[in-house]
Amino acid sequence: MAEKITAVKGMNDLLPEEIGRFQFIERTAHAVFGRYGFGEVRTPVLEKTALFVRGVGEETDIVGKEMYTFEDKGGESNSGTMVSLRPEGTAPAVRAGIEHNVFQQDPMVRWYYLGPMFRRERQQRGRYRQFSQVGAEIYGPASPYAEAELLDSAVAFLTALGLPDISLELNSLGDEICRPKYVEALVAYLKGRAAELCPDCQRRLETNPLRVLDCKVEGCKAVTQSVPEVEAHLCEPCKAHYATLLGLLDALGIKYRKNPRIVRGLDYYTRTVFECVSQTVGEGGLGSQNTVLAGGRYDKLIKNLGGPEVPAVGFAAGIERLAILLAAQKKDFREPPALFVASMNEAARQRALTLAAGLRRAGVSVDQDLRGGSLKSQLKRADKSGAKYVVVLGESELASGKAKLKLMASGEEREVDLACLAEALG
């Protein structure tokens, strides 16, 4: 036997049952974000590496060690350029907005996107090397009203998915005025306890000290228990921004918890950062990868990437993680067929084929067992398909042009004209 070729590690196949959950998440995203006035954008999967180095930050894990990067060969104008599979969607969306002059033309823009992202991470439940995000971004408003509406849309999205036990956690990282002073105080504290930090955090102390705050290593967690808190170091405008946002969330009836440990793994954030964390534990839960949605404000990114000075705020949710939580509901998210057609003999089998084709052309979803076989095995398959109705064709149905339409849920039957079946099902 020939040797099997397996998928690249961390790249997952999505089979129809899983796709059923993905499509439900995607449909929900289109419906909810459409209601909030977000327009969908689709940017390429491949971008110049420089976009992420400058956008997400050279010192981040994502850019430093997780990107799939290679040289774009081929003798065209791009030749010799280093390119990367996108690890996230915020920098690409900003690049597109700048490139198409969107921010100059409209002072308030709402965009959302869905699609695959790539990070060479250590694979575990809820963490993959190719994964999908649904993200939403608001460009223009500097005021906390943007965060408030954005978070309202995030909560509406998670609620429409029917996912229970997800909590919203918030923090403010300050701005270019107050954050450096906070980082100074943090570094001074951490340096005093550097020996207790993991080797990664000892390095972070020099490159990206805020990341020490969300290290999962027990020793580091113990050290950060008593670090100076960022809120106490916020300048007056940042403090007021945060307080107004919390008031708006109260007015919207959105529950939240302040969490001074949230620092995020991307460098572009200013002021507000947040995460939605699943509280479901055990078999149906996500384990350590339980952040299903995360984001924040990034007022400097557009300018940093060569665009105008436009503040922005956004989030992205991990579709695989949402799908894992939906899978625990043990429900099939695929749309079952409206009708299953079964046949009792060869002549009826042909009529079933043409009947199914005609109904599908009329917009009805129909299933049948293409293998033919016994009526019993066909009806077993009808049951498994979840079809709402079943119709069985035999000699008498062919002769009369009428058949019994059975409602599977109750077993109730009614006689219908086969020529008018589409109307009967509608």
Residue closer to ligand HAM (CB basis): 133 or 343: 133
Residue closer to ligand HAM (CB basis): 57 or 337: 57
Q: Is 137 in contact with 147 (CB distance < 8 Å)? A: no
**In 119-165, beta strands by DSSP E:** 130-139
121 binds ligand HAM (CB under 6 A): yes
Least Å distance between CB 411 and ligand HAM? Answer: 44
Interstrand relation of 81-85 and 291-297 (parallel, antiparallel or unpaired):
unpaired
Q: Is 311 in contact with 141 (CB distance < 8 Å)? A: yes
Which residue stretch of 16-24, 129-137, 164-172, 356-364 sits at the interface with ligand HAM (rule: CB under 6 A)? 129-137
How many C-beta atoms lie closer than 10 Å to residue 360's C-beta? 14
Q: Site for ligand HAM (CB under 6 A): which residue of 133, 171, 208, 378?
A: 133
41 binds ligand HAM (CB under 6 A): no
Q: Site for ligand HAM (CB under 6 A): which residue of 20, 135, 144, 337?
A: 135
Measured CA to CA, the distance from residue 147 to residue 248 in angstroms comes to 9
45-78 b/e with 16+ CB inside 10 Å = b? ebbebebbbbbbbeebbbbeebbeeeeeeeeeee
Q: Locate 349 and state its tokens.
A: 């089998």
Q: Is 116 in contact with 132 (CB distance < 8 Å)? A: yes
Measured CA to CA, the distance from residue 267 to residue 318 in angstroms comes to 19
Q: Site for ligand HAM (CB under 6 A): which residue of 314, 337, 368, 408?
A: 314
90 binds ligand HAM (CB under 6 A): yes
Measured CA to CA, the distance from residue 211 to residue 215 in angstroms comes to 7
Which residue stretch of 190-198, 218-226, 291-299, 340-348 sits at the interface with ligand HAM (rule: CB under 6 A)? 291-299
How many residues in the shown chain lie near ligand HAM by CB under 6 A? Answer: 28
Least Å distance between CB 43 and ligand HAM? Answer: 12
Residue closer to ligand HAM (CB basis): 36 or 189: 36
4-13 b/e with 16+ CB inside 10 Å = b? eeeeeebeee
Least Å distance between CB 136 and ligand HAM? Answer: 8
Measured CA to CA, the distance from residue 419 to residue 342 in angstroms comes to 17
Q: Locate 158 and state its tokens.
A: 């998670």
**In 108-216, beta strands by DSSP E:** 109-118, 130-139, 166-172
DSSP annotation of 127 reads B
Residue closer to ligand HAM (CB basis): 128 or 389: 128
Least Å distance between CB 352 and ligand HAM? Answer: 44
Which residue stretch of 215-223, 315-323, 338-346, 405-413 sits at the interface with ligand HAM (rule: CB under 6 A)? 315-323
153 binds ligand HAM (CB under 6 A): no
Residue closer to ligand HAM (CB basis): 61 or 369: 61
Measured CA to CA, the distance from residue 129 to residue 116 in angstroms comes to 10
137 binds ligand HAM (CB under 6 A): yes
Measured CA to CA, the distance from residue 295 to residue 313 in angstroms comes to 8
Closest by alpha carbon to 118, among 106, 132, 101?
132
Which residue stretch of 204-212, 229-237, 238-246, 292-300 sits at the interface with ligand HAM (rule: CB under 6 A)? 292-300
Q: Site for ligand HAM (CB under 6 A): which residue of 21, 204, 233, 321?
A: 321
127 binds ligand HAM (CB under 6 A): yes
Least Å distance between CB 267 and ligand HAM? Answer: 11
Measured CA to CA, the distance from residue 399 to residue 163 in angstroms comes to 51
Least Å distance between CB 199 and ligand HAM? Answer: 22
Least Å distance between CB 292 and ligand HAM? Answer: 5
Q: Site for ligand HAM (CB under 6 A): which residue of 20, 57, 89, 174?
A: 89
Residues that bind ligand HAM (CB under 6 A): 88-90, 119, 121, 126-128, 131, 133, 135, 137, 265-266, 291-296, 298, 314-318, 320-321
